[in-house]
Amino acid sequence: MTWLSRRRETCRLCGSSSVALAVPLAPIPAVTPNVGQADEADLRVTVPLDLYLCRDCGHLQLFDIINPDVQYNNFRYTTSVSLGLGAHFDRLAEDVIEQLDAPQGALVVEIGSNDGSLLKAFQRRGLAVLGIDPARQIAEAASAAGVPTLATFFTAERAAEIRAEHGPADIILSNNTLANLDDLDDVVTGIRHLLKPAGVFIFETQYGADVIRHRLIDTIYHEHLSYFLVAPLQRFFSRHGLELIDVQPIVTKGGSIRCSVRRTGSGQVPSDRLVALIAEERAQGLNRLETYQAFTREIEGVATTLAGLLDQARATGARVAGYGASVGSLTLLHRFGLTGLLKAVADDNPLTEALVGPDYHIPVVSPGWIYANGIDQVLILAWRYSDPILARHQLFLDRGGKFIIPLPEPRIIGRGI
């Protein structure tokens, strides 16, 4: 590893140096549950997590970048563990094939294909597939399971090699990956080269507008470098000889968008919903720094209210644990000052044995640990999944336990409350 983190100074969509701090957040460790080197002490150092706004194009982004080799070479997260994602992928494949009238044998290439869950949905429908993912072990396992996958990063150079060997792609996909890439100019140059003249690039990504509207701060971490809005994306693709022709809001990740991109001159005009979303972004003030300053004050209010609830727990001697040991949990732990409070963090599908930082080591345990160790209150860090967690642990409530849900407004769930 030649470097752990570095900082860029210009907008990754337009290259402007006219940028401003938009949302200050507490730094979090380089090591996360998704990164497979938690035993290395130098990865426990914290890296800034502040969001910046480009004053020229309106793009919302992180400027502090962790070495992608550190993040992805031993990546642990697989898409198949995410609740409901398999069914979502199946619907996505059905929709794309129907929309494009894709013929049998059409080539589908996915950037950031992970364990091949999405490509399998296209395979089942008779399309040829190729995955690209730098997580070596996951890529090798996907290939062994019948989804051919290249264990590498996607670049313009790699795109030329793929086209030479496999021919141009009818469909290029990127599901929750484009936001993870720093050099988007190079990536999109490769996409344009690999795509057939009549082909389409379809990607899903966290929607920056929903991050702000719904206080989704647990979706802010170093893997996610960009929090895309439609207006800046439209300008960016145009600069690369591509056209953003449709944007569909979807519910995954608490609020995402599915974008369709074609080569310039395709003859398609931007959809009505794309035009409407750009108008909504402007009406919401997402191109203005003041909007993000107001959001920061909202999060400060959440922090104050949550601290009051937890102070009450401390005053009564309550034992508190967390629920949900994801990378986003680290954002909440640090922003709300929770690293010294939680006895452990329970998780249904743990990716790590502990959440670690410069001065803490919080065990990650099975949910049964909560019952066996006299825990009185559970802070649901995976708050967007609160409903299924509460349904699964009615016994904890019946025994007098309480659940604390931190966002979008802190509240307590328990008997007699």
Percent of the chain with pLDDT strictly greater than 70: 96
Average pLDDT, the chain: 93
Q: What is the Cα–Cα distance from 198 to 102, expressed in whole angstroms?
A: 11
**Token pair belonging to 40:** 């290395």
Of the candidates 89, 287, 240, the residue with the CA atom closest to the CA atom of residue 175: 89
Helix 184-194 crosses helix 230-239 at what angle (to 10 degrees)? 60
Question: Average pLDDT of 216-226?
Answer: 97
pLDDT at 38 over 60: no
pLDDT at 83: 58
The stretch 215-234 carries a mean pLDDT of: 97
CATH topology for 290-413 is Rossmann fold (3.40.50)
Instruction: Tell me: pLDDT of 274 over 60.
Output: yes
The pTM assigned to this predicted structure is 0.93
pLDDT at residue 111, rounded to an integer: 97
- Strands in 360-365's sheet, in edge-to-edge order, are 354-357, 360-365, 345-346, 320-323, 377-380, 402-405, 411-413
Locus of tokens 């967690």 = 389
For the residues 76-98, what does the mean pLDDT come to?
78
* Per-residue model confidence (pLDDT) at position 99: 84
| pLDDT above 60 for 50 | yes
Class of domain 79-284: alpha beta
C-alpha–C-alpha distance, residues 289 and 357, integer Å:
31
Residue 230 is predicted with a pLDDT of 98
The dihedral region occupied by 374, where left means phi > 0, alpha psi between -120 and 50, and beta the remainder, is left
- Does the pLDDT of residue 98 top 90, yes or no? no
In the predicted structure, residue 80 carries a pLDDT above the cut 70: no
Domain limits, the chain? 7-65, 79-284, 290-413
**Cα 232 from Cα 75, distance rounded (Å):** 30
Please determine, for residue 416, whether its predicted confidence score (pLDDT) is greater than 70: no
Work out the average pLDDT over 309-313: 94
Say if 79-284 and 290-413 have the same CATH topology: yes
- Mean pLDDT calculated for residue range 24-42: 81
Number of neighbours of residue 93 by Cβ within 10 angstroms: 23
Q: Does the pLDDT at position 252 exceed 90?
A: no
pLDDT at 58 exceeding the cut of 90: yes
pLDDT-based confidence at 234, cuts 50/70/90? very high
Q: What is the pLDDT of residue 102?
A: 84
* Average pLDDT rounded to a whole number, residues 56-66: 97
User: Which pLDDT does position 286 carry in this prediction?
Assistant: 98
Contact 157, 126 (CB under 8 A): no
Question: Could you count the other beta carbons within 10 Å of the beta carbon of residue 270?
Answer: 15
Spatial distance between the Cα atoms of 334 and 24, rounded to a whole number of angstroms: 12
pLDDT digits (tens, 9 = 90+) for 163-193: 999 999 999 999 999 999 999 999 999 999 9
Weakest mean pLDDT among 21-30, 66-75, 153-162, 288-297 = 66-75
Burial of 309: CB neighbours in 10 Å, binned 0-12, 13-18, 19+: middle
